[in-house]
Structure 1
Amino acid sequence: MKTGSMDECILVCVYYGPNGERLIRRGGKMAKMFNCPLYVLTVDRQPADEWDIEKNHYISAWKKLAEDLGADDFIVKYNEKRPVVKVICEVTKQKNVTQIVLGQSAQSRWEEITKGSIINVLLNEVSFVDLHIVSVSRELNVQEGFYEKGIRAYLLEEAGGYRLCFNHTHLDKYEGIFYKEVGTDFNTGVFKFMKDNEMIEVFVHDDYVSDINVRIN
C-alpha cells in the first residue's frame, strides 16, 4: 500500500477487449502522480473455467501490466450475475476509491442499464467519486465478422521477419492469439501478443510477419 496522498485512490474498470491496456496505463499515471493506491477491476458473468483462450490472454496481460505499474490489487469478479455497475459501486466503497477510470465504450461493452447509463448510476450511487472517461484506443481492432475465432499461436523468428506457427517449441519468439481472415485458405489475418508489457497487433500474410518493431497504438 502506498503511503503518499492517502486522500486519493484510483480504480480502473476494464472489460474484455482491446481498450484495457490504455485504461490501466492511464490509471497508473494518475496513481503515480498522486502517489496513491491503484486498483484494477474486471467483471465477467462466466466462471473462470469457461473463459476462452482470448479472454485468458487479456486477463494475463492486464494482470502483468497492473503489477508492473505497482497496482495494489487486480480484482477479477468471476461468475458475477449482478449488474456490473453494482459491482463497481461495491468495490468503490470497499476500497475507499475517489477516482474511477472508465472507457467511453463501457456502456456498450458491458451492458445497458435499464434505468440510465452506467455513468449516471455511478454519479448517483457514489457521488463522492470523480469519473474519468477515456476515449477508445485507435489501435487495430479485430472486428466481428471479418475474422475467425482467435486461437493460440506463436511467432518463430526467421531471416527477414517472423513465421506464424501453432506448435510450441523453445525457438518461439512470441506467444499470442491469431485471428484468421474469414474466407481465406491461407494463414492471413491478425496476430496479437504482448511485447514490453504492451499489447501489440500485427498483420500476418501467408504465415509471415515482416516486422514487429512498431507499436500498433
Structure 2
Amino acid sequence: MKHTKRRLDESILVCVYYGQNGERLIRRGHKMASMLDCPLYILSVDPQPFDAFDAEKSGYIEQWKALSVELDVEEFILLDAETRPVQKVIAEVAKKHAISQIIVGQSAQSRWEEIMRGSFLNVLLKEIPFVDFHIVAVQRPTDDEVYDIFEKGVRAYLIKEHDRFKIAFTCPKQLAIEGIFFKEIGTDFDNGIFKFSYNDKMHEVHISEGYLLEPEKLPAEFLSPLS
C-alpha cells in the first residue's frame, strides 16, 4: 500500500537513460522526495519500440521498474516508439503530473548530456518555466560498480547442473532463472556478472568460467525448487 504524500504542491521527475547512473539518479530523486514528502516519477524516453529493445536495454528497464516498486515511486513512465523531440515529451509529462522539480544526470556516457548541449535547456525552460531543474554531475562508479570493464549485456539463464548453477544463453526446457549477463572484457571464459529481477528487487551474482560462484546469494525460493 502506497504511503500518502502530504505535500502535493511539490512533485519530482527523474529522467533516466540507459547506464548504471540511472539507479543513482532515481535514489537521488527518492531522497529529495522523502525529504519533501512528495510524489516521485521516473521517466525514460526511447525512439525504439519496446519489442525492439536489446537485452541490455530491457535489463535496465526491469531494474528501474523493480527499484520504483522498492522505493514506492508514484509511477515509472516508459515512453517507447517516441518520435517527438525529447524536450516536448518531458514538458508534456511534467504538465500532466504537475511536476515542480526535474532531475537530469550529466555524465560522459549519458545521452542526457548530449541533449543538454545547445538550446535544449532553454527550450525546456520556455515549455515549462514553472519547474526547477537539477543537473546532477554523476561521479565515476565505485570499485564495485565499474561496469565499463564488461561487455554489453546479453539475455541469459541460470540452470541447475548437478549441485551447481550454470550460465546458459538459450532458453532451456528446465526451470531456470532469467536475467542479463555482463561478460568481462578480454576473457575467453564466461566470467562476469549476472543480474536478474525477483520479487520487484534486483539481484546480482558473480559468474566464473560459466558457473555461479555464490549460490548463497540466490533467493531461498530458487534454491528449494531447483535442488
Which TM-score applies when normalising by structure 1?
0.76
Separation of aligned partners in 2, 1:189 and 1:64:
22
How do 1:1-217 residues align onto structure 2 when only pairs under 5 Å count? 2-105=4-107, 108-110=110-112, 112-113=114-115, 116=118, 118-134=120-136, 135-136=138-139, 138-139=141-142, 140-143=145-148, 147-155=150-158, 163-166=166-169, 169-170=174-175, 175-182=178-185, 184-194=187-197, 204-211=207-214
Separation of aligned partners in 1, 2:179 and 2:123:
37
Separation of aligned partners in 1, 2:116 and 2:206:
39
Asked whether the 8 Å contact 1:21–1:199 carries over to 2, the reply is no
* Distance apart, 1:118 and its partner CA: 3.8
- Tell me how many residue pairs correspond in the alignment: 209
Structure 1: tracts of 5 or more residues without a match:
none
- The CA RMSD measured in Å over matched residues stands at 3.4
Asked whether the 8 Å contact 1:188–1:205 carries over to 2, the reply is yes
Asked whether the 8 Å contact 2:67–2:202 carries over to 1, the reply is no
Q: For the structure 1 residues 35 and 137, does the alpha-carbon distance in structure 2 shift closer, same or farther, using more than 3 Å as the test?
A: farther
Q: For the structure 1 residues 81 and 136, does the alpha-carbon distance in structure 2 shift closer, same or farther, using more than 3 Å as the test?
A: farther
* Distance apart, 1:115 and its partner CA: 7.0
Which TM-score applies when normalising by structure 2?
0.73
* Distance apart, 1:86 and its partner CA: 2.0
Separation of aligned partners in 2, 1:192 and 1:117:
37
For residues 72-101 of structure 1, the C-alpha deviation after alignment (integer angstroms, 9 at most, x for no partner) is 221111111222122111211221100111
Q: For the structure 1 residues 33 and 182, does the alpha-carbon distance in structure 2 shift closer, same or farther, using more than 3 Å as the test?
A: closer
* Distance apart, 1:133 and its partner CA: 2.7
Q: How high is the sequence identity, in percent, across the aligned residues?
A: 52
* Distance apart, 1:7 and its partner CA: 1.0
Asked whether the 8 Å contact 1:84–1:111 carries over to 2, the reply is no
Q: For the structure 1 residues 118 and 162, does the alpha-carbon distance in structure 2 shift closer, same or farther, using more than 3 Å as the test?
A: farther
Structure 2: tracts of 5 or more residues without a match:
218-227
Give the counterpart letter for 1:70 in structure 2.
D
* Distance apart, 1:55 and its partner CA: 1.2
* Distance apart, 1:59 and its partner CA: 1.0
Give the counterpart letter for 1:153 in structure 2.
A
